[in-house]
Structure 1
Amino acid sequence: MSSASPTSAAPPASAVSSWNVRRLPGARGRVVLVTGGNAGIGYFVAEQLSATGATVVLGSRDPARAELAMASIRARVPGSRVRAVRMDLADLSSLPAAVEALARVLVIERLDAVVHNAGVARDEPTRAETGDGHELMFGTNHLGHFALTRWLMPLLSAAPAARVVTVGSFAAKSERLDLGDLQSRKDYRPGPAYGRSKLAQMYFGMELDRRLRTARSTVASVVVHPGGALDSLTPSRPPLHVRTTGAALRAAPAALLVQGKRAGAWSAVRAVLDPDVRGGQLWGPRVFGLRGEPRPERVWKHLADASVAARLWDASRDLTGIDPDPGAR
């Protein structure tokens, strides 16, 4: 699975320059699932996609927070089609039922896109595990989405040109995977463990596209990252997020280099909507990869290593007992 995707070329310059993050194309009739759509970047992805007329489903492990997020979106986007399904990526055994609820309870027959956004970021120095015994950040951020993709593939394949959009992190650029210690048992530090979990997600998104192309699937996989996205530069969405005047003033100098989470959502939103985006691409903010409107980036050198991606895929399959490879069925 080491061949490059035939669709990984950058879009024409005219397509890149013509995109307007504040004037998005209509998407009425499309259905998009956003994992972790009840908070942070995922919330703003959901809010922005809702404004296009798409049906947006928030995948959230906390139904109460999902209700608050839906109320916030409906208040800002009159007539929005936003719904929620309970989804806990740290509990792999629960995911088939979550997808069943998506299909049968919400009566969704196809999925035009999934935004793999949900994630856990821990500051605590002690290592924690999911109920399945996986390191919490690696198990949730990577293995949860790896397994979820397997159960979503029939719904994605039912759409004419579906997309799997994986939200990585700029922090992953400076990290490297230790394939002999994916669970951080020998070397656990919360910051690097988070960065490696996001890097694993990004490797998965790249490898998934290679396998989709081999299987001649109509589904494409795109990897994005939000750059530097700070709460202190993020507009308020009470009660989900409240930015005080003091916090906004203190953060003002940082806006020269980074941005808030509303802008951090732009790359994922474009990856869902723009017909010129291609599978196997990496998209991020225009200015040093940290802020600004989205653009295609050269795939980071370590992320382009297909042999590491394939080995990670095999390890993830062994850890979960699940294989999302479209050619494996």
Structure 2
Amino acid sequence: MPPVARSRHWDVHRPPRAEGKIFLVTGGNAGIGYFVAEQLAGAGATVVLGSRDATKAAAAMASIRSRVPDARLRHLRLDLADHSSLKSSVDALDADRLDAVVCNAGVLLDDPQRRLTPDGHELMFATHHLGHFALVRWLMPLLAAAPAGRVVTTGSFVGKSAQLDPDDLQSGRDYQPKRAYGRSKLAQMLFGLELDRRLRAAGATTLSVVNHPGGALDSLTPSRPPVHVRTTRQRLRGLPAGLLLQGKEAGAWPAVRAVLDPSVQGGQMWGPRVLGFRGRPRLEPVRGPLADTALAARVWADAVDLTGVDPASALG
């Protein structure tokens, strides 16, 4: 496991330039993913927004261009809940390499009724974990073709302390929406860490890094019409929370650093500086459930069974 060292100063408003690089951001049309895409585009990279909805992606790209006039942007239709479609989506990327993928897209349900994908998987688990697991499998050759490809997995603060039952990963016995969300994000973060162990064992140059946005609220997020519009009332109501939490623009900072900082190492986790809730990104220790390598290996094996693909098979 990489050592936890004091992270050097990082200017969140002036990250390193990234001209000539191409990054894919899943869920780049809204929320934290939108701000990851905006900030990476501001660094000069070509940014591909992975999204199911072409109209929403077009609105996001227009918003980014209003702030980054020379932004290089593309849309890739991507449905992480439809695992059988992911290879075709990657083929449609039509690139000879990929410098990084930010596995960000997610869904948070509050319906007490457990929802399933057409494949019979719990929707949040299928989107956060299984979908990104399968996507990375098909992206691996493109990442390997880059000089220093990166898989950047955006988990969540709640995922760090969630508890997984290896015999009930999809919460079939005790489903509660928020608890299932935390479990699915923990599984996704475990995948990111286990992926790096397997990359290192294979002698690969690609790195896998985990991050989380801390506490990121819409009420603290600056407006980006029409993607996100914050009213004056929402802004004022969110001010007390701003003492501890932050908006989604700041919530994107750990992922952006994980993509762009040349000092980042595989197997690391990055999160906000202040108690893991807000502030500029810093290196965090990997501990608790995230440090359980046996659990990570079990979750990986189950994902292979559930998706029918194995990212390790593309490592050579």
TM-score scaled by structure 2?
Answer: 0.98
Match of 1:284 among 271, 292, 298: 271
SS of 2:106's equivalent in the other structure is coil
Partner Cα separation in structure 2 for residue 217 and residue 33 of structure 1: 20
- Which is worse superposed, 276-285 or 168-177? 168-177
SS of 1:325's equivalent in the other structure is helix
Partner Cα separation in structure 1 for residue 169 and residue 219 of structure 2: 32
Partner of 2:298: 311
Partner Cα separation in structure 1 for residue 60 and residue 134 of structure 2: 25
Q: Counterpart of 1:62 in structure 2: which amino acid?
A: D
Q: Counterpart of 1:125 in structure 2: which amino acid?
A: P
Match of 1:46 among 34, 37, 61: 37
SS of 1:45's equivalent in the other structure is helix
Partner of 1:86: 77
Partner Cα separation in structure 1 for residue 3 and residue 149 of structure 2: 18
Q: Counterpart of 1:118 in structure 2: which amino acid?
A: A
Partner of 1:132: 119
Can you give the 5+ residue segments of structure 1 that lack an aligned partner in the other structure?
A: none
Q: Counterpart of 1:299 in structure 2: which amino acid?
A: V
Which consecutive aligned stretches of 4+ in structure 1 deviate over 2 angstroms post-superposition?
326-329
Partner of 1:9: 3
SS of 1:176's equivalent in the other structure is coil
Partner of 2:54: 63
Partner Cα separation in structure 1 for residue 68 and residue 315 of structure 2: 41
Q: Counterpart of 2:168 in structure 1: which amino acid?
A: D
What's the CA shift for 1:172? 1.0
Tell me the percent identity. 66
RMSD (Å) for aligned C-alpha atoms: 1.0
Q: Is contact 1:215-1:326 (8 Å) kept? A: no
Partner of 1:160: 147
Listed as ranges, the matches of 1:223-302 within 5 Å are 223-302=210-289
Match of 1:118 among 105, 111, 116: 105
Q: Counterpart of 2:18 in structure 1: which amino acid?
A: A
What's the CA shift for 1:328? 6.4
Q: Is contact 2:141-2:314 (8 Å) kept? A: no
Q: Counterpart of 1:146 in structure 2: which amino acid?
A: F
CA deviation vs aligned residue, 1:290-313 (integer Å, no higher than 9, x gap): 000000001122101100000000
Q: Counterpart of 1:309 in structure 2: which amino acid?
A: A
What's the CA shift for 1:100? 0.4
Partner of 1:141: 128
What's the CA shift for 1:18? 2.1
SS of 1:24's equivalent in the other structure is coil
Partner of 1:183: 170
What's the CA shift for 1:326? 4.7
Partner Cα separation in structure 2 for residue 34 and residue 10 of structure 1: 27
What's the CA shift for 1:327? 6.5
